[in-house]
Amino acid sequence: MDMSSIEHRRVPCGEVQLDCALAGSPDRPLVVLLHGFPESWYSWRHQIAALAPEFYVAAPSLRGYGASDRPREVSAYRLPRLVEDVRGLIRGLERERACVVAHDWGGGIAWAFAIDHPEATEKLAVLNCPHPAAFARALRSSPRQLLRSWYMFFFQLPRLPEWVLSRDDFRALDRGFRGWVKRKDREVFSDADLETIKDSLRPQGATTAAINYYRAAFRFRADAERYASAPPIARPTLLIWAEEDAALGKELTYGMEPLFRGPFSIRYIADCSHWVQQEQPELVNQYLLDFLR
């Protein structure tokens, strides 16, 4: 897709304005794409190209990232406030409902959004982010998953995580993105891709804002507990899961059926890392199109 065909607009979402990449005709059904840590709207470049011919696609940079508003206090990154950003975005685009597609931290927001706003959720597709109940259960019972989640505890420290992430021009991102991928037949992240991803963390305070998602999750645990004990999700739901995720084990997807009372399906992608929609875009796009259609 020619990037020049993507419109960027700051959309008022209630508390904040979000920089949003928009593509496709506004006359078509709305699909909202929510990125993860430490990324931006650009994580969805392959999906925007695939979805725009049939949908109106909105891919925001979440609060704190890139050109979106960046509140300073940790409490501004509590999950219920992130959920209301999505509700505000949909209304800001003059809609009442949307299909929500999300990855990683965006997935955490999407699960909570479908719980809080089933009336605004047309369909839900989540990539490599466990349902909050499944994740809470794993942290209590699985030493292996607890070990995989070490970085969440590290992010609770003051200032040091920001320094580690940003030093040497965000060299840690080069290792994290390229070091995790399993695909060898093509370059998943070009130098230009990594520069664009880093750009979302370069503005003053953006790295702290991204890490504050994790700090808020720990400081306001009642939020996570509420979503972990919520009623089953009623909307049609698709979970796409890359099997070689270094941070989130495949076992997080087992036994999820009781968490849904609407249609629910899982699509596994073998030999693929956490960066699933960028590493295997053709397969992810096909699964999404089949589901959203």
**Residues tagged active-site:** 104, 214, 274
- Is 233 strand, coil or helix? strand
Q: Report the chain's C-alpha Rg in angstroms.
A: 17
Helix, strand, coil percentages (3-state) for the chain, rounded to 5, are: 50, 15, 35
Reading across the β-sheet that carries 121-127, which strands appear in turn? 7-12, 17-23, 56-60, 30-34, 98-103, 121-127, 237-242, 264-269
Q: What CA–CA distance (Å, rounded) separates 171 from 164?
A: 9
- Is 1 strand, coil or helix? coil
Q: What CA–CA distance (Å, rounded) separates 254 from 257?
A: 8
Cβ atoms 24, 56 nearer than 8 A: yes
Q: What CA–CA distance (Å, rounded) separates 207 from 164?
A: 10
Q: What CA–CA distance (Å, rounded) separates 232 from 259?
A: 5
